[in-house]
Amino acid sequence: MKQLTFLFLFICGLAQAQVVNIPDTNFKNTLLAASAGNNTAKDQNGVSIVIDTNGDSEIQVSEALTVYELDVINSGIDDLTGIEAFTNLTDLLCDQNNLDVLDVSALTELLNLTCSANNLTELDLSDNPNLEFVWALSNPLTFMNVKNGNTFDPFEIGTGTWMEMWANLPDDCYVCADESEIEDIDEFLNDIGTGKHVSSYCTVTPGGDYNTITGQMLFDVDNDGSCDGVEFPQPYIRMDLTDGTETGASFTDDTGEYLFYTQEGTFTLTPNFENMEFFTITPTTASVTFPVVDNSVEVIDFCIAANGVHPDLEIVIAPLLPARPGFEATYKIVYRNKGNQAITQTDGVNFYFQDNFMDFVSATETPDSQSEGVLRWDYEDLLPFEERSIVVTMDINPPTDPDNPVNIDDILLFEAIIQPLAGDETIEDNTYIHSQTVVGAFDPNDILCLEGDIEDPVNIGEQLHYLVRFENTGNFPAENVVVTMEINSQQFDPETVLLLNASHGVEARLVGNVAEFFFQDIQLASGGHGNILLAVETLNSLQEGDAVMNKAAIYFDYNAPITTNEASTLFEATMSTQDPELNAGIKVYPNPARDVVTITSSTLMNSIEWYDVSGRLLRLHLVDSQETQLDVSKQATGVYFIKINTPQGSIVKKLIKQ
């Protein structure tokens, strides 16, 4: 008897589990009222049918699967929960109800959808790759996602047209579409003069089906010829991909992983980073063939090992918050190992600032030593490809400071040096000099060329560094942030784009000449900040007098993008005409010199810049006096130019080092 009771309960429970949960009474009653005479539901042959065939006043999953067309127009429905069981639906008509939410993600066979005259603010059709027709007029839509891998023509006229659909969307609606559709949709929307915005950046992955190539870039720390032990993945290493026609790149994330999303074809993978000759890479390249698009995943890891002994360090200063009189400013010191040796150094990171114009407040890492105008940090085991950063906060003097007031348009100077210098392969980038203009108001979403508005023509063909800063100015956390930059191939070489640092975990890639940075699930609070630091080389074909420019677009969730300012840099000689009176008041002696040079001025000196004969800036010395002495004993024998900067102007003197 107990066994029979158990079996009965089991069968009843199974039957109960097959009942579709439909909490909205009007929706359920409409389904139960379906008959051969009212056209509410139709089968695969287009014949009107009864859904509740067993007459139990419930809808079983098996009954839902018999429905291919469903018409619940003007039925007083508030909630369509339960529609997910109707997975064979090709047509769903639910206009003129009270729907706030419409989830059709389970209806992958859907061809036609009409949902006009509801209360929908979002419509996500990303899981409906077969969709041919949508009618969603008279909804307060702010977001519509048609990124589903199904390419359609927005200009097609007639049955199944999208034209009126696009034309009647609210002007503030953000449309997410497949990359292949954006140009056509944009063209149409521009023609009809709407304010709607279209992009593919609502998700990192493509719409519809695709294949994936992924893997890790690992550094062989113990140099044993393999990466099967305790190896260290590193972020921001670039991997290139080509199918012979189109090219792209992916940068490794915090776990050392790269990602490419592809269609069918044969693809070649090639690591691409600075100082490739310092390393051996296994494999040097890799080939992947996908005969079809079936969501296949190919995993290929790359092992990088040292080739010889090549120490090479780099340091950059990136201003995160601008300098304003009387306010705090923040600076990110980014240093990284471009060589192939792990390096440890006492007082390795040195940050120089004008102590008379600002006060040190704090740093994300406590300095290991500190003196007037300089902060120093030790670092240990800085691995090849590794980058680290320190954020420093300074309190800028107000205009009312009795001794050293700071005003808008004043120039503040900073210098960062990473040691050791001896033996470094490219000693020039062990020193970074940053000149910052003091501002009043500022735009929190901007782009900045760290080299400034003017760069010496001798540096044509070299890297320019760009900092993109973004802030959530809304009143709710941003779940995702996307930053894009179109690299002008007439001014820059997109093949040289490097990601140096990011404030949060980022998935970065280069599609053609467009750099894309995806901050997924960043949850950036209202007022929260983020940033990206990257570098790209200018073309060698540029001439003196040419200017280069970059700007960025910043997407916060499903809002239209914020377009930043244009960061323009002019290649123009910086050492030009002299002021005779100022020149006469400045003395440099002895000249030639062997050990110590004394510089005196009839006016206050702010800084002294050292240039070699090719015009390359070597060092910056911050001063605040009318006399200073400089040790030149370690400089190589030769001719140098010294630029002395004062409030009245700048003077250039030639110095011979014996």
Q: How high is the mean pLDDT in each 10-residue block of the chain (658 residues)?
A: 40 58 97 94 96 95 97 97 97 97 96 93 91 86 85 45 61 81 76 71 85 93 75 87 93 94 95 95 96 95 94 97 96 97 96 93 97 94 95 97 91 89 88 89 92 87 96 93 96 95 95 94 95 97 95 91 94 68 84 86 87 72 86 78 84 79
Is residue 161 located within the same domain as residue 73?
yes
Instruction: Give the pair of three-digit tokens for residue 287.
Output: 């080939």
Asked, for residue 1, whether it belongs to a domain, the answer is: no
Kindly write down the DSSP assignment for every residue of 307-367, as one continuous string: -S----EEEEEEEEE---TTSEEEEEEEEEE-SSS-EEEEEEEEEEE-TTTEEEEEESS--
Q: How far apart are CA 629 and CA 597, in angstroms?
A: 6
Instruction: Give the pair of three-digit tokens for residue 377.
Output: 């940090």
Q: Where residue 407 sits, what CATH number does that domain have?
A: 2.60.40.1510
Asked, for residue 381, whether it belongs to a domain, the answer is: yes
The predicted pLDDT at position 96 comes to 97
Of 459, 481, 448, the residue nearest 551 (C-alpha): 448
Q: What is the largest CA-CA distance in the chain?
A: 116
Q: How far apart are CA 34 and CA 44, in angstroms?
A: 16
The predicted pLDDT at position 615 comes to 66
Total number of domains constituting the chain: 5
CB 467 within 8 A of CB 531: yes
Is residue 153 located within the same domain as residue 270?
no
- Measured from the Cβ of residue 225, the count of other Cβ atoms closer than 10 Å reads 11
What sign has the CA pseudo-torsion 533, 536, 542, 543?
positive
Give me the domain span that covers residue 541: 443-571
The predicted pLDDT at position 2 comes to 42
Is residue 171 located within the same domain as residue 240?
no
- Measured from the Cβ of residue 56, the count of other Cβ atoms closer than 10 Å reads 12
Q: Where residue 454 sits, what CATH number does that domain have?
A: 2.60.40.740
Is residue 195 located within the same domain as residue 92?
yes
Is residue 356 located within the same domain as residue 239?
no
Is residue 284 located within the same domain as residue 357?
no
| pTM metric for this prediction | 0.81
Asked, for residue 224, whether it belongs to a domain, the answer is: yes
Beta-strand (E) ranges in 397-462? 411-418, 431-437, 446-449, 454-455
Asked, for residue 2, whether it belongs to a domain, the answer is: no
- Measured from the Cβ of residue 82, the count of other Cβ atoms closer than 10 Å reads 18
Is residue 339 located within the same domain as residue 375?
yes
Q: Where residue 48 sits, what CATH number does that domain have?
A: 3.80.10
Of 231, 336, 220, 239, the residue nearest 279 (C-alpha): 220
Is residue 241 located within the same domain as residue 256?
yes
* Pairing of β 328-337 and β 387-396: antiparallel
Is residue 132 located within the same domain as residue 20?
yes
CB 468 within 8 A of CB 485: yes
Of 147, 175, 199, which marks where a domain is finished? Answer: 199
Asked, for residue 11, whether it belongs to a domain, the answer is: no
3-class DSSP assignment, residue 293: coil
Q: How far apart are CA 446 and CA 457, in angstroms?
A: 25
Q: Where residue 596 sits, what CATH number does that domain have?
A: 2.60.40.3080
Is residue 287 located within the same domain as residue 332?
no
Is residue 562 located within the same domain as residue 633?
no
Q: Where residue 217 sits, what CATH number does that domain have?
A: 2.60.40.10
Of 251, 277, 306, which marks where a domain is finished? Answer: 306
The predicted pLDDT at position 71 comes to 97
Is residue 269 located within the same domain as residue 348?
no
**Distance between alpha carbon 533 and the CA centroid of its chain, in Å?**
9
Asked, for residue 226, whether it belongs to a domain, the answer is: yes
Asked, for residue 3, whether it belongs to a domain, the answer is: no
Asked, for residue 279, whether it belongs to a domain, the answer is: yes
Q: How far apart are CA 282 and CA 286, in angstroms?
A: 9
Q: How far apart are CA 334 and CA 329, in angstroms?
A: 16
Of 255, 286, 306, which marks where a domain is finished? Answer: 306
* Pairing of β 211-219 and β 302-306: parallel
